[in-house]
Amino acid sequence: MRRNSYTLAALAVSAVPGLEPARTIPVATPIDEFDVAGIIGTDGRRVLVTAPTTAAAGAHLEKDVHVTDALAGTSLAPLVTTAIGFARLPEGGRAAVTAPPHGVPVLFDRLGASLRLARSLGEVIARIHAVPAYVAESAGVETFTADALRRGHRARVERAREESGLPATVAQRWDAVLADDDLWDLHPCFVHGALSEEALFRDGEAITGVTGWHEASTGDPAADLAWLVSALDPDHVDALFAAYTAALPVTPHPRTLERAQVLGEFAVVDWLLHGIDSEDEEIIADARGMLDDLDHDLAQLAREEAERRYDDLAAGSRAAEAADADDAGWDAEGDRDLDPDHAGEDGDVTIEVEEIEVEVDVEVRAPEEHKAGTAVSDETDGPAVADRDADRNRGPVERGPIER
């Protein structure tokens, strides 16, 4: 049953004593199973009235009320709006009246353009994940162990494989990540479970409101990061996660972002199974298109990784060859590595050779006729040297005729 703004205003009057509506403002909601309107009273008071249209929506609303009541005593109190009144509905269930969230809805384009807003969101997510366990228990949320979360993902992937089929590359990747024990060695904590731009409000560059707590649970902290990792650019993801890590009272799992990426991929499985369960061929076709896109992206990433590894190996090989050539004094082409500063204008290279002093041991042998005991002396005043000098001083030798 759908309700217009005037009917919703009447519900607000019955839920909040003393409220006199002056104006009504229709409010768009991402969940089609709720009728929502803003009411402005004659005294300027503003309230928000939410009425479920189905039994399932009524259950969501009740859970939201219980969670926000429990969070009112935590550091998240300024970010949540608690119920200030209820009105019974003719078909059963009840409508809830709350104060409106402070600020304006967060548009994803704005989030993707502001590092300050991304950091603020990271801090808020850390505050959500730091909610004590006893608060989660008092809120009545479901609690999942790390093993139960992993088994649930595996079961949904197997069902999608059996009922619709999965592209080969996608199936191969998901089998690998689900078999990775370290990736799923996580510590469950309180999580929002349905964070999106529709559930967030801001004032300037700060997150000021969080709504939509009907999927809160004690589960995987990566679930609240999955929608951001797959959509924001790397700089904004780094800024958000740095702020998240700094504000978190414990050190997050070292592979939290990697698991968030995987959970973003598993969201396509959930969409596909939703289409199968509702027998909606349009949703099924849309999900299959997403799987094909993911298959293409994974194949492209695999090619790029292979090329990067090949380039790294080739660069390492060239560097090793160059180092060996330098050690041997040769360049990479096998030529002597010459200093270009010594090249002339014509390109010739002048090699400067240092003067080298060499000691040589020489064995001097005496002429045959002196072998019999005549020593060769290197003394300058020895007989042999004296005779030689005398011969030099005689001048030309006069020769007589040769007798025949």
pLDDT for the residue 278:
94
Domain ranges of the chain: 1-6+15-100
Alpha-carbon distance values, 71 to 28, 50, 89 (Å):
25, 20, 26
How far is Cα 41 from Cα 44, in angstroms, rounded to an integer?
5
Alpha carbon distance 157, 289 (integer Å)? 16
Tell me which residues of the chain have a pLDDT lower than 70: 1, 29-31, 324-404
| Cross-strand partners of 190 | 218
Per-residue model confidence as pLDDT tens digits over 303-341 = 777 777 777 777 777 777 777 666 666 554 555 555 555
The one-letter amino acid code at 359 reads E
Residue-wise DSSP of 166-182: --HHHHHHHHHHHT-TG
- pTM value is 0.74
- The Cα–Cα gap between 165 and 163 comes to 6
Give the H or E element holding residue 208.
strand 206-210
pLDDT of residue 393: 46
For 136, phi and psi rounded to 5 degrees? Answer: -60, -40
Residues 295-320, buried b or exposed e (16+ Cβ, 10 A)? beebeeeeeeeeeeeeeeeeeeeeee
In angstroms, the first-to-last Cα distance of the chain is 158
- All residues at 6 or more sequence positions from 157 whose CB lies less than 8 Å from its CB, including other chains: 166, 174, 178, 266, 269
CATH superfamily, with its number, for domain 1-6+15-100: Phosphorylase Kinase; domain 1 (3.30.200.20)
Alpha-carbon distance of 122 to 243, in angstroms, equals: 5
Sequence-ordered list of residues with C-beta below 8 angstroms from that of 101, at least 6 positions apart, any chain: 48, 81, 201, 208, 209, 210, 211
Q: Is 190 in contact with 224 (CB distance < 8 Å)?
A: no
Contacts of 13 by beta carbon, 8 Å cutoff, 6+ apart? 19, 20, 21
Which residues have CB under 8 Å from 50's CB, separation 6+? 34, 35, 36, 61, 95, 96, 97, 98
268-295 per-position pLDDT tens digit: 999 999 999 999 999 999 999 999 999 9
